Amino acid sequence: MIFETHAHYDDEAFDEDRETLLSSMQQNDIEYIVNVGSNLKSTQQSIALADKYPFIYAAAGVHPSETVELDDEKFTRLHKLCQNRKVVAVGETGLDYYWDEPSRDVQKYWFERQIKLAAELKKPLIIHSRDAAQDTYEIMKSNNASETGGVIHCYSYSAELALEFVRMGFYIGIGGVVTFKNGKKMKETVEAVPIEKILLETDSPYLAPEPNRGKRNSSLNIPFIAQKIAEIKGISYEDTIRITSENAKRMYRIDQE
């Protein structure tokens, strides 16, 4: 059974068929889904989905591009949301330098606060990092992110840096880009990183894999991602699904009690 470690089913892209789609997951071998918050509103929606569907868990966090909404009062609200029984991680948090706003200082401040929040609550981190490799690594290191561990979601940097994150106790999230013809760096990363440190994710509704590239993504596309990983690693599709699912359960501490 497949563990989808990162999706956004609260997104408006699913408004027309959310219930039908989610109700079909388990018959399509999707055992668990973690729905990931990107701001306070989507965190609350993620928790609502997790409350409704036993196989869905939530992550509570504020994406770097949304950090402009935060202040101390709202961070206190986030802290409370993180304590919900079905919240299994803090995130997604991190740095995104693709856009000029919010400022880098604002992003760094709230990234550090969310790392400390994860440490306080003993929950893993879901880290988003785009065009910010060095700052992400340095902030994680200086704030002892290795204490909680977690995942570098939708990984996009070099294989060498991926191994540094692995040494820090983090998993590497692999999604649809690994199936793209121009996904050379991602393929090199999958080759270099041990299968025991890889997680499957879609980032739905974004980044659908081949042959559905450009369409709305969903967890039903994970077999295309797993098949490509299996091919790169020279192992069976079944072993890829089994090992990555065990990895996710270990990281999110699900079925581990």
Q: Are 226 and 190 in contact (CB under 8 A)?
A: no
* Cα 144 from Cα 109, distance rounded (Å): 15
Confidence of residue 3 (pLDDT cuts 50, 70, 90): very high
Q: Decide: helix, strand or coil at residue 202.
A: coil
- Domain CATH number, residue 169: 3.20.20.140
160-190 pLDDT tens trace: 999 999 999 999 999 999 999 999 999 999 9
Compute the average pLDDT of residues 29-43. 98
In a domain, 99, yes or no: yes
Average pLDDT, the chain: 97
Compute the average pLDDT of residues 72-96. 98
In a domain, 139, yes or no: yes
Which residues span the domain enclosing 40?
A: 2-252
pLDDT of residue 257: 42
Q: Decide: helix, strand or coil at residue 161.
A: helix
97-154 pLDDT tens trace: 999 999 999 999 999 999 999 999 999 999 999 999 999 999 999 999 999 999 999 9
Question: CB under 8 Å to 154, separation ≥6 — which residues?
Answer: 6, 128, 173, 175, 177, 201, 203, 207
Compute the average pLDDT of residues 199-204. 98
Cα–chain-centroid distance for residue 92? 7
pLDDT of residue 21: 98
- Tokens matching residue 117: 């929040």
pLDDT of residue 37 exceeding 60, the answer is: yes
| Angle of the 72-82 helix axis to the 104-121 helix axis, nearest 10 | 40
Containing 91, the helix (H) or strand (E) segment is strand 87-96
In a domain, 66, yes or no: yes
207-251 pLDDT tens trace: 999 999 999 999 999 999 999 999 999 999 999 999 999 999 999
Residue pointed to by tokens 């581990």: 256
Confidence of residue 256 (pLDDT cuts 50, 70, 90): low
191-200 pLDDT tens trace: 999 999 999 9
pLDDT of residue 92 exceeding 50, the answer is: yes
- Check the CA dihedral 147-153-158-162 and report its sign: positive
> What is the tally of structural domains in the chain?
1
- Tokens matching residue 239: 């072993």
In a domain, 98, yes or no: yes
In a domain, 257, yes or no: no
In a domain, 215, yes or no: yes
